[in-house]
Amino acid sequence: MKERAFNLLKGWCDRLVEYQLTSIKDKKLYGALICPACASNHGRCADAVFPLTYMYSKTNDEKYLNCARLFVDWAENNTKHKDGGYYNDVNNGWRGITSFYQISLAETLIHFKDCLDKETYNKWFDIFKWQSEFLYDYLGGPHSPNPVINYYCGWTHSMAIAYRILKEEKYKEKAYKWLEFSLNHISEDNLLYGEGHPIDGVTKRGRRPVDIGYNVEESLPSLYSAAKILGDKKAMEKIKSVIITHLEFMLPDGAWDNSFGSRNGKWTYYGSRTSDGCQTAFLDVDDDRVKEAAIRNFKMYERCSHDGFLYGGLMYCEAGEPACLHHQVTHAKSLAHICLKYTQYNACTLARDEEYGVKKFDTVGITLVSKKKWRASICENDFSFCKRANPLGGAITMLYHMDLGPVMAASMTKYQITEPNNFQMQRNSVFDICSTMRIENEGYSNLLSSDAFVDENLMASGSLMNDLGETNGSFYVKYIFDDDVKIIVKTDVDAVFTLPVIANEKVHIVSEENIEKGENFFSLVGGFIFTPYKINLKKDKEITVEIKVK
């Protein structure tokens, strides 16, 4: 496994070296990372200092260390603020991401001191020191930001690792402050919440902002790593239990089901676009289920990687869409951790490997289904991070078949590039097509329905709503999972039912009603090519659609 991780990491690092700009000596450009998907530089390129230095330590090839040095120098010249914080990008003033750069630099100083020359080590140590000072005062100061939960978790790790290296008690005290704050954001059903605004917000129906991608790839690993540094076994056990709950959302192939997450616009099939990956800490957890999840997820990295690039899903290449280098700048850290930490463990089953029926997570309004060979997520949430972004309304947001893999996967209801430097545009396919199953009528949709309810018999019902919360009719959808999936739909107004299905010749859509089959399109979110099937719904007439697998 270490050899496989090393080979994948080498390919990723070789691409980072190749796409580093060195032909122009202007310090505003020299050493920048030019992304083939975005045709621009990603300001967090210095986050790759840890995996690049790891690769240098194993190969003794100077190109990796030189690449790391130039990324760090570029950040010093272009994204560093006078207070010690670092901007997300040259045109983005957010400095909370300093935490993740600081952690990467800390891991470099801890693991590779012996292979760094004195000048480089001292320079990077000084950078780490002033980053730590900045982060110590960033929250609670006169210009304190209002971040989501992943930053409090990241700052917990930053303060703990600053304490480990600098040996100053103030960092330990601040680490415990943010550790306590973060652990106070664990729901009754053991999910970490707060990945939205307001961070402590709760809807009329008791829902909280929860994002599986950020939680498993950044927040929970940060908390566990911090607790381990602090030697707090009680906190480690608590965080482990929360991690194990989150394993309910890992699909059998090692992907993370974040189809419904509060920040699902950043969903990649293996995790999330701008976070580091679960392996950074999951391999430290004393539980075979957690290690199993880490390795399955690594295998998904392998499936999503082609020719040295990490793509955001399984079908980017088939769709002719380029890979964004931001993915591997951050996730290369996870591969380096696999290379450093992997040890043999007892392979085991995970929650969604088994047929268990139905489980509900009220905090996020999700019903998980595990029947026959089908695994599904049905969403009745009423929290939305961005207006018209998160799928609501009793829709299946993920449909997975044990033999075929994903069959349906939701996207943002309206693709919004809320972070221009962290999202990519589609190049070669129709833009802004929603890949979530839906019922629509003259601007009204179940996907805007904040009143949808899913009962224990998998009956979803609610109102067709518009952006203003006005209603125009009601609907119900009944889901039946057997060898095939039956979807029974009825509305009290004329409407259109759209069923986007991931392109697969073994999946067939059958109905007694007339079905309009559309042309294939590609969704960046999740990274799948879909075929939309549409059926006209007549007022008060029940129709049945079957998803058959051959």
Q: What is the pLDDT of residue 425?
A: 73
Q: What is the pLDDT of residue 365?
A: 95
Instruction: State mean pLDDT over 470-475.
Output: 96
Instruction: State mean pLDDT over 135-142.
Output: 80
**What is the per-residue pLDDT across 350-366, written as a single tens digit (0 to 9) for each?**
999 999 999 999 999 99
Label residue 412 left, alpha or beta by phi (over 0 means left) and psi (-120 to 50 means alpha): beta
**233-246 and 288-304 helices, crossing angle to 10°:** 50
Q: What is the rounded average pLDDT for all residues in the chain?
A: 94
Least confident of 88-102, 170-184, 247-261: 88-102
Q: What is the pLDDT of residue 415?
A: 64
**What is the per-residue pLDDT across 294-304, written as a single tens digit (0 to 9) for each?**
999 999 999 99
Instruction: State mean pLDDT over 333-351.
Output: 97
Flag whether pLDDT at 431 surpasses 70: no
DSSP H or E run through 358: strand 357-361
Q: What is the pLDDT of residue 388?
A: 60
Q: What is the pLDDT of residue 416?
A: 63
Confidence of residue 256 (pLDDT cuts 50, 70, 90): very high
Given a contact cutoff of 8 angstroms between Cβ atoms, the answer to whether 422 and 91 are in contact is no
Instruction: State mean pLDDT over 187-215.
Output: 95
% of the chain beyond a pLDDT of 90: 87
Rounded Cα gap, residues 185 and 382, in angstroms? 19
Rounded Cα gap, residues 281 and 283, in angstroms? 5
Question: In 3D, which of 99, 93, 91 has the Cα closest to residue 330?
Answer: 99
Flag whether pLDDT at 144 surpasses 80: no
**What is the per-residue pLDDT across 503-539, written as a single tens digit (0 to 9) for each?**
999 999 999 999 999 999 999 889 999 999 999 999 9
Q: What's the distance, CA 485 to chain centroid?
A: 28
Flag whether pLDDT at 430 surpasses 70: no
Flag whether pLDDT at 408 surpasses 70: yes
More confident residue, 269 or 384: 269
Q: What is the pLDDT of residue 477?
A: 98
Flag whether pLDDT at 116 surpasses 70: yes
Flag whether pLDDT at 179 surpasses 70: yes
Flag whether pLDDT at 178 surpasses 90: yes
pTM for this predicted structure: 0.96
Instruction: State mean pLDDT over 54-60.
Output: 98
Confidence of residue 110 (pLDDT cuts 50, 70, 90): very high
Flag whether pLDDT at 163 surpasses 80: yes
Confidence of residue 390 (pLDDT cuts 50, 70, 90): confident
- The number of beta carbons lying within 10 Å of the beta carbon of residue 340 is 14
Q: What is the pLDDT of residue 26?
A: 96
DSSP string, 387-444: TTTS--TTEEEEEEETTTEEEEE---SS---SSTTT----SSS-SS---S-EEEETTE
